[in-house]
Amino acid sequence: MALYMLGLEFTPVSSVVPAAAPADLGTLLHALLLRLYPICRSITGNGVRQTLAILREQLPNMVVHEVPSGTPALDWTVPPEWNVREAWIKNAAGERVIDFRNHNLHVLNYSTPKQGWVPIAELREHLFSLPAQPDLIPYRTSYYNPNWGFCLSHNQLQTLNEAEYEVCIDATLDPNGSLTYGELLVPGEVEDEVLISCHCCHPSLANDNLSGMVVVAELARQLSERPHRLSYRFVFGPGTIGAITWLSRQTPDGLARIRHGLVATLLGGDGAFTYKRSRRGNADIDRVVAHVLRTGGYAHELRDFIPYGYDERQYCSPGFNLPVGCLSRTPFGEFPEYHTSADDCEFVQPAQLVGSLALYERVIEVLEGNQYYQNLSPYGEPQLGRRGLYQAIKSQASPREAEMALLWVLNQADGTHDLIAIAECSGLSFNVIREAAAQLLAAGLLAEKASALSEPPPFS
């Protein structure tokens, strides 16, 4: 409880935003996570607004959208806005045996209001615990199945032996409220976009999904401060209904600009990285992430797309079929702390946040440099010596590797293979292949070619 309450002493983001040495970056990311941890978030409500307001302190150009409750969103409807002021269970002596103020997981998220004395038999039908993890509070929701209730440790549940208890859930479900999400576009040299999406709806759960928010916010901040070729669109929205609402508000032309996408989540645990491919299975983002994980020496697992999980399933629904994968550490439901009070700020370590950020930075670096080229001297091998390329080869740390990179690029640069494809078939690193392409381009042997883009996703 002490760590939970410590988070209420908010550290101004202005004190953690300035550039820091890499050794300090994890501490700064973790400080932001500590600040966000106590806020009671849900798919709508003031908790989301407060969270986005904090992120806007370091992302001032982020636009916060409010979509009125009752608004149609594809096959869904924006739900009433939920806010909770207090929630508790008192015994006959007037003592609060369960109190929302101690941990916001104690209230069933999206609980309907409740006030009065309740017999213990009835109360037990509205109490949620984890017998297999008796010390932990579970996270439970009632978004689309109205109910009232409390979550508590199984050990706490075992102590409730009085005939009746007084219950208070001071909450509102406002049909005139709204759903809130944040969106930031960081323009590049071209309009082709990389979509990076994360959830902002879970309450005090540090890995799921505060880790994704703090890593993505720092990534967006860094990209906002340096030039880049591609444009980047960041979406901070509540799970499922947030992505569906965002998609419902896009135009076909806008969606067609999304060339790559990632859902960022579960980035603070100590597990290996997991990449879930897009529905397409062989989109550029799928090939880039797989290459970076393999050549970077990361412990990792690659998984095929399934229509279950995070918001990649919305972006990859067949009508949109966007090239969006999910890059996380240990996936949801596969670590014991998942959706429990054990997913706290001690479970998420600064080193894991920095490591996840570094992986995303590397993926972006490769996306930025991955292009198609056309060999301008494709009949026979061009003479490299008279263009000074052999001298350049001799000056490099690995002359043989540099020579092979030149030959591979010349052979494969037919306008249908990008640099990732050449790196994969040659077995050479992307950086070596990219440097070879730059040398050949400077020597007049290559020309940049527009990407072999797939058809834009159908949308109506």
CA distance 286 to 454: 14
Establish whether 103 is an annotated binding residue: no
CA distance 55 to 213: 9
Task: State the angle between helix axes of 430-442 and 350-369 in degrees (0 to 180), rounded to the nearest 10.
Answer: 30
Establish whether 339 is an annotated binding residue: yes
Establish whether 202 is an annotated binding residue: yes
Task: Mark the binding-site residues, compressed into ranges.
Answer: 202, 208, 339
Task: Mark the binding-site residues for Zn(2+), compressed into ranges.
Answer: 202, 208, 339
